[in-house]
Structure 1
């Protein structure tokens, strides 16, 4: 009775395996929110993984990391292609230690593991006897889901690296096993040394390949620590890279990387994916607690740089003041380095600074020019910062920031009252302009010079408002109220009222945008008024060869940001120009956008 019950359970199990699960979904008429209900769940398909060389100059920790990643992936089983220990010894005590270490890794796998020997596992009789003591046969086979798995021993003559073999006894077994499994849908070979790519004699391997030529088959090997795919003998043959074995790790292009292989076996053959270990992560790789810990470290620059602001247009020298702040509860290392600049010379090129938890370090850097240059002609001096936070119980947190540094002339804010009507006669000559040396982003042949697109602007204030004005040249006006000014002819001011604290800011500023109207009418609609201070005024008016822009921002907003005795504003301006049915696009900046790689500390600083 017990035997009959066991048979019944076995039949039920295979019946369940053979049944294809279906989707039960509510009735939906019309278009469907899915592409198909024909799920990719053929019960004949299965998944397994392959690990490759662990040793031959093994790098500690990598193979164990692979084991942990396999437990995340949950294959049905794991194959190997040898070189599991360092070996190459007749010292049994050492062999015992090495196999104990390796099996300690395998014991952590949550699925079966199939051993295959490499030259580091068997190169003499002592090592072969140890293998047989631990694992029995050095070559064997099994069938699963109508696929024949052949685990071979390329070390059956103890010849070592680059001289692998398949001897007569093993060949006879291979021939017999293949003959007994002629009807399987696929055959897979696993061995250590890639005998098809070996210069030294391989004994019976050419005869083995002859047995495979008319079979659907795939061959996997390791040994060379560099990935290569071959198409030969009516099949695909692979040399796998490493799962911790010695490697220069020069990248996928050279086949040098740590990986596990993921195989999905289908009726049409194996579908193979190489999964680099560094691309497989636990579900708790970031938690709310860890994010709260490290986000401030990588989101905000720990380095504040005083802007190099001068009166006038020439620069000789200045002291650059750096402030390193570590607001965390762990130590921080700051590696600072200046790129070469032919016109700006700092007193040092590289420096590494340790900053204790919750502390500040102040550094002065003398900066000078080789010659007296006009400020407008300087290119950025780039300061690179690599910051490493060192928690005691978790991995290091790294953040990289680049800072542009160059002298900037102070710009003055005139005190005057302006009528915001688009008439610029009460401004006088506007002091700032686009032009040579300024930033232009354009398509080929789109920008035809200053008549096509250019601008002048200025800033003023009184007790009620900060005023901005621009005179914009544009010989082909294309604008309507319903379109974002950034996607048509438009003008844009960016204003940061946080004072000197804004000199390094890349966000938190006001963005005031407007467009001229193609119909020639005045545009006094405030674009995205809900994002601007209440009471902001914007007027855009047609003019000869373009249009004018006037803006008034309540002085109360500036005082909220900087206090009643406010003194500084940071301002930028740019023009968008679209011509010929928007086929040609040009953007002209007075200063580089503050969040761009070309920006520099203190660009666009104005003072009363």
Structure 2
């Protein structure tokens, strides 16, 4: 503590600067500049293993991942707070095998390692506090029971907390206290920060008399941090006097509660700087990745599978449950575009997504939760599908599967239910890689004008760029003169009317602003109309002919750009309607929101357009 204050004062006096002074802005440099960076003040990184004790082999996984993490992070030294093995056994060979298992892993560390003993490392299963068998074995295999390590920027002092009255029981003997006094005095003379490590947090043990025996030494010699383990629960205990107290969790140790209850497998780091400051932080174990965690050939497979338009396609459509309850079968065409086998498991989406577990490491991904839009997915869809087993496709193989469904009658038009086709393949590191191909199931939509329903307009191709907005909807009317009216309601954070509009069909497949596109009929009779809201209020319904926009002759659409939702009324005289009956129809909304990317939502998928029942 005192050392840090002196260093800060000296730095201020010598430099004539004030703390918190802004650095020169990098933004002021011209293109092509070469920027000189001042040398960074020296620092050292100290890593600490929490408790490993569990007695079961599953805990060794976390220890291995912790060692791999440390070898990538490359700390200057590694310590522990004890309980390296389960111990507590009368079978010496069992204890020694546990030591061998532990050492076989930590010996792979590429940094100096200084373990602190815990009760599980030295207590014998004989229940005799005089039995020092395991303490002696520990000393021979791991090193001294109490010690100090002098690094360039910090002194680490480790005490032995199973030294009560010189027996193997909780406490610290007078002999060790004498050693601690002398060691801390020597450390203080170095004018470097001091960190004390131990296994049991003896300041919680009344019999130790911490307040009268140890606290005075901590205060006298300016110990900065006191760090322990044993509780298997991470907790920052704040300050006692001028020293900060910290208890670590586990790295392979047994726990049974949520991480927010302090129980997690982790590593702890101390960043020690030349000015005497120490900044501890924790890292969940197993969260550094080797540089080749994903290899290019495996990523190419993932991109190819995700981008394949033939991997998963519905054939046909569901029978609409609007007029009556229904059941039936819909086919799905599958194709494997890869040079390795894939397994395809179809799963209907009927619940909020959960996290993805990364099987080869100890972490999870929240991607499915972060990207899910409940406004466009009907989790309570009346359509219910029978579960189906996954199918395996050889490289290049095609298969067709059938999905059986049933539905109660729906009171209003519903959006097509959604499926997640989980496609897995084995990568070059023998891991199962899942790709999630999300699809909306088409509904054979037959629309009778004046039925009073609003029909959903939804996304049929899913993208990470989709806006988290509700589906649009359309209502259809017809009068006695055969004039068709379409009433659109579009939930939208921003009606984008200022994007650059070019002529031609391509401009209206990926417009740079909000656009409404109406497609009527099929084949030679097909007609395509485009409605482009223009900043300032101008709007018209134009027809796209030969890649050019021409006047349609339709009445001017009525746009109401309300905040959060805009409405549009399109009027179609009979002369604009193809003669085909029922009339194929599709209606698309391009939502731009002033961005580079535009999202399309459609009344129906392009392969299965809706039909409009007209006289």
> Normalised by the shorter chain, which TM-score bucket?
0.5 to 0.7
Asked if 1:56 corresponds to 2:54, the answer is: yes
Relative distance call for 1:496 and 1:74 in structure 2 (3 A) is farther
Asked if 1:167 corresponds to 2:177, the answer is: no
Relative distance call for 1:334 and 1:494 in structure 2 (3 A) is farther
Aligned to 1:156: 163
Shift of residue 113, structure 1, vs aligned partner: 0.7
Q: What is the TM-score when the length of structure 1 is the normalising length?
A: 0.65
Relative distance call for 1:496 and 1:52 in structure 2 (3 A) is farther
Q: Which of 544, 556, 559 in structure 2 is aligned with 1:543?
A: 556
**Unaligned stretches of 5+ in structure 1?**
1-27, 413-430, 441-446, 459-467, 500-509, 527-532, 552-566, 583-588
Aligned to 1:396: 432
Mean Cα displacement is larger for which, 271-280 or 322-331?
A: 322-331
CA displacement, residues 125-157 of structure 1 (integer Å, 9 cap, x when unaligned): 111010122234200002222422111222224
1:63-462 superposed matches below 5 A:
63-124=63-124, 125-157=132-164, 164-183=170-189, 184-197=191-204, 201-202=207-208, 204=210, 207-213=213-219, 215-233=222-240, 234-248=242-256, 250-251=258-259, 253-266=260-273, 267-297=275-305, 303-310=312-319, 314-315=323-324, 316-328=326-338, 329-330=340-341, 332=343, 334=345, 336-337=347-348, 339=350, 344-346=382-384, 348=386, 350-358=387-395, 359-360=397-398, 362-371=400-409, 373=410, 376-378=412-414, 380-391=416-427, 393-405=429-441, 407-410=443-446, 436=454, 438=456
Contact kept? 1:263, 1:272, Cα under 8 Å: yes
Relative distance call for 1:439 and 1:197 in structure 2 (3 A) is farther
Distance in 2 (alpha carbons) for counterparts of 1:497 and 1:83:
76
Distance in 1 (alpha carbons) for counterparts of 2:514 and 2:289:
46
Distance in 1 (alpha carbons) for counterparts of 2:435 and 2:279:
38
Shift of residue 287, structure 1, vs aligned partner: 2.7
Shift of residue 52, structure 1, vs aligned partner: 1.6
Distance in 2 (alpha carbons) for counterparts of 1:109 and 1:473:
63
Aligned residues between the structures: 490
CA displacement, residues 3-44 of structure 1 (integer Å, 9 cap, x when unaligned): xxxxxxxxxxxxxxxxxxxxxxxxx9993369995646213x
Aligned to 2:28: 31
Shift of residue 120, structure 1, vs aligned partner: 2.0
Contact kept? 1:387, 1:399, Cα under 8 Å: yes
Q: Which of 588, 597, 606 in structure 2 is aligned with 1:573?
A: 588
Aligned to 2:41: 42
Distance in 1 (alpha carbons) for counterparts of 2:106 and 2:81:
14
Aligned to 1:507: none
Contact kept? 2:187, 2:194, Cα under 8 Å: no
Relative distance call for 1:284 and 1:311 in structure 2 (3 A) is closer
Distance in 1 (alpha carbons) for counterparts of 2:166 and 2:348:
52
CA displacement, residues 322-359 of structure 1 (integer Å, 9 cap, x when unaligned): 345444423526263563876735362x4432425334
Distance in 1 (alpha carbons) for counterparts of 2:245 and 2:77:
21
Relative distance call for 1:602 and 1:181 in structure 2 (3 A) is same
Shift of residue 264, structure 1, vs aligned partner: 1.3
Mean Cα displacement is larger for which, 485-494 or 139-148?
A: 485-494
Shift of residue 222, structure 1, vs aligned partner: 2.0
CA displacement, residues 392-428 of structure 1 (integer Å, 9 cap, x when unaligned): 842211233554446341479xxxxxxxxxxxxxxxx
Distance in 2 (alpha carbons) for counterparts of 1:188 and 1:275:
19
Q: What is the TM-score when the length of structure 2 is the normalising length?
A: 0.64
CA displacement, residues 248-278 of structure 1 (integer Å, 9 cap, x when unaligned): 4733x23233222232102242112222234
Mean Cα displacement is larger for which, 170-179 or 390-399?
A: 390-399
Mean Cα displacement is larger for which, 173-182 or 401-410?
A: 401-410
Distance in 1 (alpha carbons) for counterparts of 2:522 and 2:122:
71
Shift of residue 299, structure 1, vs aligned partner: 5.2
Aligned to 1:11: none
Distance in 2 (alpha carbons) for counterparts of 1:170 and 1:469:
92
Relative distance call for 1:576 and 1:142 in structure 2 (3 A) is closer
Relative distance call for 1:433 and 1:335 in structure 2 (3 A) is closer
Aligned to 1:593: 601
